[in-house]
Amino acid sequence: MLATRARVAALRRTGLLSRRGGGRGLWTGRPQSDTDNMKPLAGVKILDLTRVLAGPFATMNLGDLGAEVIKVERPGAGDDTRTWGPPFVGTESTYFLSVNRNKKSIAVNIKDPKGVKIIKELAAVCDVFVENYVPGKLSALGLGYEDLHGVAPHLVYCSITGYGQTGPLSQRAGYDAVASAVSGLMHITGPEDGDPVRPGVAMTDLATGLYAYGAIMAGLIQRYKTGKGLFIDCNLLSSQVACLTQVAANYLIGQKEAQRWGTAHGSIVPYQAFKTKDGYLVVGAGNNQQFATVCKILNLPELIGDAKYRTNHLRVQNRKELIKILSTRFEEEMTSKWLHLFEGSGVPYGPINNMRDVFAEPQNLYHVAVPSLARSAARCQPQLHLFVRLVCMSSWLDRKPRAGPHLPHEPLRCRYKAWQKVTAN
């Protein structure tokens, strides 16, 4: 116990662990004095053994809300995504930078008994433990839920895997593209008459990260009520299947197999991208009034009274004929002209933007601001804003470099040397 206290004290001196949250360093949920400037998860300490995307995305979002995240990486190599590129900024991949802000990073060899001891000592003073190893791997090293529960019964332990803790696929490694294929997401994504397509971003990983994020928040509330930790089983396959929502219901309840629709919607017409003279415009008419408005804007009033298009059900039945008429009209004008005509109409619409357009969009200055996150004295890097906004606070991104060898942007070997100094005490 004395050795543990000495090591924790050393960690606090380096800035790896803060003094927030009381003597044991555990979050209690009790009201704090400085409520005007308090971050929602201030005082919560998270030990993060995740790599790549789903886990780091979950812990980054928790860090954005004020949690103190300690990211544990492999000595020498670090998180796999450090080498995923181009593009790179110096020696760092932008992929890694995108999901690892607001974290303090250390290198620990968890295959070494000394490393296992370090992790257990850190877990004892943290509130949450997050990992994304194949089921059983951490248990074999002495870092499974039962192992840590013995030394930290308060711990909210979240395991993120590809296919869950049990079942015939549980021992398979889980990657987003594979899980999106197995879950059916890839089957329903792509052109109507074309091949299955992988979504442009790793939606299965991101959805899993958000489920884990919410489950961890619920776990902290549960611990606040009971005083006991718990185990959270989160996996890519279950998360993505849960996101199938109405597509799953169509099959399970309506016995209708899903198909690919490109940019279109299987149950609403029109609701898709239309090619213009110089780009694409997405327009959705979810009810008869909106459809009539679309017809007026396109100067096709004869479609409003056409019996074949009087209801959405009929429009779905006569989809191909209607879409052909609308597509021909949309191609006659520039995107800017259509944007002007649809403005204020009450019909949902918008252009298909590239990244340059996305971050030049004025609306993003209000809700998806891109502040510059200082990472060294010489340079700043833009980062996405928090994905939700709480009106009591402005921004919780770390805009200033945090002193100490744990900074995510420092070379991993430097952090490891500093960690060796800490653990040598």
DSSP code for 177:
H
Task: Tell me the whole-structure pTM to 2 decimals.
Answer: 0.85
- Over residues 339-355, the pLDDT tens digits come to 999 999 999 999 999 99
Residue closest to 59 by CA, chosen among 210, 222, 224, 203? 210
Helices 54-64 and 203-226: angle between axes, nearest 10 degrees = 50
Instruction: Evaluate whether 376 touches 351 at the Cβ level (below 8 Å).
Output: no
Question: What is 111-164 written as a DSSP string?
Answer: TSHHHHHHHHHHHHT-SEEEE-PPTTHHHHHT-SHHHHHHH-TT-EEEEEESS-
pLDDT value at position 365? 75
Q: How far is residue 303's CA from residue 226's CA, in Å, rounded to a whole number?
A: 62
- Tell me how far CA of residue 298 lies from CA of 55, 185, 302, 330, in angstroms: 46, 34, 11, 8
The β-bridge relationship of strands 372-374 and 380-382 is: antiparallel
pLDDT value at position 381? 74
Torsion of CA 54, 58, 61, 66, to 10 degrees: -150
Structure tokens at 183: 């879950």
| Residue 161: how many other CB atoms lie within 10 Å | 26
Q: What are phi and psi of 57, to 5 degrees?
A: -65, -40
Instruction: Evaluate whether 93 touches 409 at the Cβ level (below 8 Å).
Output: no
Q: In CATH, what is the architecture of 2-242+371-423?
A: 3-Layer(aba) Sandwich (3.40)
pLDDT value at position 388? 75
Domains in the chain: boundaries: 2-242+371-423, 271-352
pLDDT value at position 367? 67
pLDDT value at position 386? 72
The β-bridge relationship of strands 45-49 and 68-73 is: parallel
Residue closest to 232 by CA, chosen among 124, 149, 109? 149
pLDDT value at position 27? 67
Structure tokens at 336: 């800017």
Catalytic positions: 205
**Burial annotation 122-143 (CB, 10 A radius, 16+ → b, else e):** bbbbbbbbbbbbebeebeebeb
Residues in the chain with pLDDT values less than 50 = 1-4, 20-25, 376-378, 399-425
Question: What is 246-303 written as a DSSP string?
Answer: HHHHHHHTT-------TTS-SS-SSEEEEE-SSSEEEEE--SHHHHHHHHHHTT-GGG
Fold exhibited by the domain 271-352 = formyl-coa transferase, domain 3 (3.30.1540)
